[in-house]
Amino acid sequence: MFEWLRAMMASGPERPPAPEAEIFAVGDIHGRRDLLEKLVANIRDVAQTANPEIIFLGDYIDRGAESREVIDLLIGGDIQNRFKPVFLKGNHEATLLEFLDDARIGPSWVQYGGGETLMSYGVKPPEFKGDLEAWGAASQELRQRMPVAHLEFYLNLELCAERGCYLFVHAGVDPAKRLDAQGEAELLWIREAFLDDTRQLERIIVHGHTPAAEPYQDNRRIGLDLGGYQTGRLAAVRLHGSSISFITT
């Protein structure tokens, strides 16, 4: 067992043991189907069990040009047949769903990559950000063009997944709250309040959301966002008992 993990279990809050099953977790994809295909192939190469669980940490869409294509891959046969997939919600999926209900957020959404998602579904973003009528039309067109299976995918995303001593979320948790008191705002959006804190937590948090140059791990968290839409690199972690290893493109 890693020394930091042994020390953490001795000095921090009491935690369940590490899960014995082989589990993979994948960081933010952001419309890069090309990188996702490579990462999934790399995961298959290192997997030691048949049909291991793979937990996707959210932010499948926006920024990259292949948001629709990423969802096609995630819900398609290759991943569904070779793994036991779990799909978590990211803040970008939450924003897409909000846009479908309230087109007024369109101008702010496109500042963070929403335009690429619209175009991947064949919807042209309005030319003028302040044209709310055009944004309403874009929202309706997106709903019409989006396959039913994609909408069901977005609507059924989970907020978190707990496996032994690990809690998988998109962004992190509020260290000032118990884990069972966390809400969507914390799980999908938090950054500094989680990242800069030093308190031991009830679980090791496996997350994405905040880009870093390399996968990160310490006695509190494992971070998997490498800013792939810009860097060309996606990251995953393999968890198997006390073993922790990283896979990247």
> What averages of pLDDT result for each successive group of 10 residues across the chain (249 residues)?
42 84 98 98 96 98 98 95 97 98 97 97 93 97 98 98 98 96 97 96 97 97 97 98 96
Domains of the chain (ranges, CATH numbers): 3-90+159-248 (3.60.21.10), 91-156 (no CATH)
Tokens, residue 188: 């999908």
Cross-strand bridge partners of residue 26:
56, 236
Give Rg (Cα) of the chain. Answer: 18
* Contact between residue 69 and residue 33 where contact means Cβ atoms under 8 Å apart: yes
Three-class secondary structure of residue 166 per DSSP: strand
Predicted pLDDT at 186: 98
Helix (DSSP H) and strand (DSSP E) numbers for the chain? 12, 10
Tens of pLDDT, residue by residue over 88-133, are 999 999 999 999 999 999 999 999 999 999 999 999 999 988 899 9
Q: Supply the pLDDT for residue 130.
A: 87
pTM: 0.94
Q: 218 and 230 in contact (C-beta within 8 Å)?
A: no
Amino acid 9: pLDDT = 41
CA–CA separation, 75 and 147 (whole Å) = 12
Spatial separation of the C-alpha atoms in residues 246 and 214, rounded to whole Å: 10
